């Protein structure tokens, strides 16, 4: 199968969202992992609720809400200075080790990031990691609809200038892979932790452990 567009989720797929745990640990020793996991869990839960309620709120606001609630649940004391410092860390998330070499390996493939994150979050993230030239950037904040709603993937296909059957979509998040598959994208689940695929009534076209190679493409 020849694909015309290669579209990547950002958080958890290209960038390790739990790398923020190091900064959390600096403020709250021994609670970095706990707070990071609660932050991510709440972040996903909150945007899903807003999507189901058809009441869009930008992802940076969702992320800030989720952080505050994660800190409250962890019973730590914090102020606006800590919130601002940890939110700033989302612009400095660490990419997985193979991400920097991806474009070098496949210089002729059109790589696009499509994320629920706002461009105000994503553009500094790419700049800080010297990846701005490797990916074009699409945000769900433009159509004001979150993945995994089909309208989000439709927007990505239109912006990529490809029919949905010509798109190969990569994500580490099963809910994202399922949504993209149900919309009609070909999908690759980046299963970095060798987890079982959940029973969602749909399967990814490919399951890979990392992004060292692109399915169907020769090095």
**Domains assigned to the chain:** 5-15+94-208 (3.40.50.1000), 17-89 (1.10.150.240)
pLDDT in tens, 80-115: 999 999 999 999 999 999 999 999 999 999 999 999
More confident residue, 216 or 123: 123
For 56, phi and psi rounded to 5 degrees? -65, 135
- Are 147 and 170 a contacting pair, CB within 8 Å? no
Quote the crossing angle between the two packed helices 80-89 and 59-73, to the nearest 10°.
120
Question: Among this protein's residues, is 60 annotated catalytic?
Answer: no
pLDDT in tens, 35-88: 999 999 999 999 999 999 999 999 999 999 999 999 999 999 999 999 999 999
pLDDT in tens, 125-166: 999 999 999 999 999 999 999 999 999 999 999 999 999 999
Quote the CA–CA distance of 23 and 192 in Å, as a whole number: 23
Whats the size of the chain, residue-wise?
219
DSSP class of residue 58? -
pLDDT in tens, 4-31: 999 999 999 999 999 999 999 999 998 9
DSSP class of residue 20? G
Catalytic residue, candidates 9, 16, 141, 176: 9
């Amino acid at each position: 199968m020849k694909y015309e567009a290669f579209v990547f989720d950002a958080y958890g797929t290209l960038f390790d969202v739990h790398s923020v745990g190091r900064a959390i640990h600096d403020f709250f020793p021994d609670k970095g992992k706990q707070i990071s996991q609660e932050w991510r869990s709440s972040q996903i839960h909150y945007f899903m609720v807003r999507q189901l309620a058809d009441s869009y709120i930008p992802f940076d606001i969702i992320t800030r809400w989720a952080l505050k609630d994660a800190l409250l649940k962890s019973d730590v004391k914090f102020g606006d200075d800590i919130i601002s410092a940890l939110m700033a860390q989302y612009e400095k998330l660490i990419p997985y080790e193979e991400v920097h070499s991806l474009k070098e390996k496949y210089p002729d493939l059109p790589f696009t990031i499509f994320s629920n994150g706002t461009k105000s979050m994503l553009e500094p993230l790419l700049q800080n990691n010297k990846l701005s030239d490797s990916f074009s950037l699409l945000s769900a904040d433009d159509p004001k609809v979150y993945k995994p709603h089909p309208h989000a993937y439709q927007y990505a296909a239109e912006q990529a200038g490809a029919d949905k059957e010509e798109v190969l979509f990569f994500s580490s998040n099963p809910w994202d892979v399922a949504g993209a598959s149900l919309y009609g994208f070909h999908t690759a689940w980046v299963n970095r932790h060798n987890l079982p695929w959940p029973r969602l009534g749909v399967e990814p076209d490919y399951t890979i452990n990392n992004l060292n190679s692109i399915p169907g493409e020769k090095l």
